[in-house]
Chains A and B, each alone.
Chain A
Amino acid sequence: MGEWFSVAFWACMTIYAVVVAAQIFGQVFNKPRWVERATYGVAGGLALHTVLVAWRWIETGHVPTIGNFENGLVGGWFIVVMTLWAGWKQRYPLLAAGALPFALIIMGGGAMSDTSARPMVASLQSFWLYIHIFFAWLAYGAYTVSCGAAVVYLTKSGKNKSADGEVLGRLDELMFRSVVFGFITDAIMIASGSIWAKNLWGSYWSWDPVETWSLLSWLIYGLALHLRITMGWRGRKLAWLLAFAIVGVLVSFWGVNLVMEGSLHVFNVG
């Protein structure tokens, strides 16, 4: 990445980091105004983040979808948008402290990999790619929000805490809604990826490690939905499950790196 792009990128990261720190500080030292005002920081960071996505798009001439850096950049953008939206809708700004660290992780991790602009290789020139990754970002964003809500729920509830029942109710519903949204979009992501794989590799499903992790993540969230709907799991039990379920998503996201040798998700042709 260029020098100015690099400056803007790290400025954006810094804003998000400061927001998370401010919200944690506000929560721990009971300064609700810190938590609320930090939300403006998320909005400011998002504006800069949007400029970065557009910048990269113009620079490379294609939607930023190639490599860990571009995926982290756009995936992080989706997480921030969905966190901001959910926090605003639920009137619960503290959500950013739970969800934004994941955006920081994937963006920071992406920045550690090769950030040079690369041409759109033939294997990625497919309409199905856009469907696949768009729904992947939506799903991962929603799962991150559910995890953020779960973490906040766990910190606010407990035996020795007198949490506001209405706040916990809203968080509980947000966890469930985010999982429903993520589960549906994840299903579309897997199905569209499967159709794309048929065109690219000739097989709908290859038991590739990345595919298997995605299916595993989907299954875990399906399990969470089942437990909620049929067994009445809510509150802390569901929150614990969702707080850990994000691990599967993170492994799916970084799975390409972990299993580079064995995975088809490398997209080289020639």
Chain B
Amino acid sequence: MSIRGLFRAFTSARTTILLLCLLALLLLLNVALPQENVVGTERFAEMTVGRPVAHFVLVTLGLGRMSVSPVFLAVLALFLLNLLTVLVARIGPTWRRVALKTRSDKGLQAWARLEEARSIPRPAGWSVAEAARALRGFGYQVRRPGERTLWAVKHRTAALGFMLFHISFLLICAGGVSIYYTRFVGSAFLSEGQQFQGQYNKIIRSRPIGPPPELPVALESVDARFDRGEVVHLGAAFRFQQGSASVTRKARVNHPAHWGPTSLLVNRAGLAPVLWLQDTQGFTLDRIVVPARTLTGPPTDVTLGDGRVVAFILPLAAGASFPSREELPQASMSFRITLDSRVVFDGALSPGEAAEFEGGRLVLQEFRYWVGMTVVSERGGGILIAGFTLGIIGLIWRLLWYRREVAVTWDDREIRLVGRSEYFSGRFQDELKTILLTLQRGSDDDRATTG
């Protein structure tokens, strides 16, 4: 096949439909087959290890990691290539349509003969100028290609909507690629007053290019409110260091704090007991702020001092309300303390109280709040949003402002009106009827005013 033939085959509507069907099939497989990002890495491994068929389908073919599987990426690449070639192929026709290159009188006359024309007897006093004005009143741009022919087009730029819609996919793809190569995601816990020093709890995704983001931030305060056990407000104030100055930015669920290309999303909160380990003389051996599981989950354990003392902090009792800031000084949590694996204390502590045990004591100095946050850093979101916007504009432009064209021809006895629209033919036929009525009424009005 020649290059021209290949290009023609690639730009055909059938190719586009085939690729759309393939993409739809792969998306169906995406939800039908277990995906690693949905079921989790461990469970995914359980599903594939020792199962040759599952391993072949999910791992070898990559259908268990559909978004990065070679099959999916190949079909996506072909689809984008198809879009690109269609765009290139449509530049010429689009330009001709938008530029409103006047059609030949002969062609329009032939069209009027071929299609079912609506006609009215030509009234006395009928004028071409009046007919053109009536068509303009309907939003048409009017040309007069022949002595007895008017040609009018409405929404001549509709074809640009097609171009925009297809370009938008390329933009979305460009944004996606940029995000893929620059994206970093990590989760961390910070307690009030704590400075972030890169202590990620988990790095969820490292960026393929470049190091993790610099994040000179400290947590100032947390504001968490619960209603019937559900978080109805969760916010935090962060202090970012900028040279010698600092900037405070607030974040809450759905409203991340931004620092350059990095966003801080708050998503969890709880109580952080400040614990002091002291010896029998009252000297402080260790001081630690513990982001403790507060409402649900297993006890939070923390090792203090030289490793001999371990404190287990139990979540609040079931049904207990999350303490507000005013309630913090009176709040209490249950602690179980072990010394060399031996339980030496088991009971509740409030701020200012201490658990005494052989060889020392553990003081609960105060409760603070902690916040769980996701740190996301990426570039390319703007391109992606531009793609979304362009795509929606393109769709509306193309599908709602669709192109319509009409031809009015006449002789000494009658006026004929023919037209075609890209779609919505029923609505267009109604419009043609109204245009014809207007042409007739306009003539009547003229006669009334002149006669």
Contacts and interface: CB of A to CB of B under 8 A. Distances in A.
Contact of A203 (B31, B38, B376, B423): B376
Q: Most chain-A CB neighbours within 10 Å: which of B233, B252, B385, B399?
A: B399
A184 B426 contact: no
Contacts of A259: 31, 38
Nearest to B385: A195
Interface stretch (B18-26, B45-53, B239-247, B440-448): B18-26
A216 B24 contact: yes
Nearest to A255: B31
B30 interface: yes
Interface in A86-141: 118-123, 125-126, 128
Contacts of B21: 223
A176 B422 CA distance: 12
Interface in B229-257: 230-234, 252-256
Contacts of B406: none
Q: Most chain-A CB neighbours within 10 Å: which of B13, B17, B38, B423?
A: B38
Contacts of B60: none
Interface stretch (B89-97, B104-112, B328-336, B389-397): B389-397
Contacts of B424: 173, 176-177
Interface stretch (B265-273, B305-313, B338-346): B265-273
A270 B226 contact: yes
Interface of A is mostly: helix
A181 to B, nearest CB: 9
A227 B17 contact: yes
Interface in B28-51: 28, 30-31, 35, 37-39
Contacts of B400: 180, 184
A206 to B, nearest CB: 7
Contacts of B226: 270
Interface stretch (A8-16, A33-41, A45-53, A207-215): A207-215
Interface in A242-260: 259
B392 A187 contact: yes
Contact of A219 (B14, B23, B381): B23
A180 B161 CA distance: 14
B227 interface: yes
A269 B396 CA distance: 37
A24 interface: no
Interface in B422-447: 422-427
Given A206-B37, A209-B31, A125 B254 contact: yes
Contact of A187 (B227, B233, B391): B391
A196 B248 CA distance: 24
B141 interface: no
Contact of B392 (A176, A184, A201, A203): A184
Contacts of B185: 202-203
A219 B24 contact: yes
B295 interface: yes
A222 interface: yes
A78 B11 CA distance: 39
Given A119-B228, A180-B399, A207-B66, 14 more contacts: A123-B231, A126-B254, A170-B426, A187-B391, A200-B253, A202-B185, A206-B37, A212-B31, A220-B24, A223-B24, A226-B13, A226-B20, A262-B35, A270-B231
Q: Which 7 A-B pairs have the closest CB atoms?
A: A262-B38, A230-B13, A191-B388, A202-B376, A122-B253, A126-B254, A173-B426
Interface of B: 13-14, 16-17, 20-21, 23-24, 27-28, 30-31, 35, 37-39, 66-67, 176, 179, 185, 226-228, 230-234, 252-256, 263, 265, 267-269, 295, 374, 376, 381, 384-385, 388-389, 391-392, 395-396, 399-400, 422-427
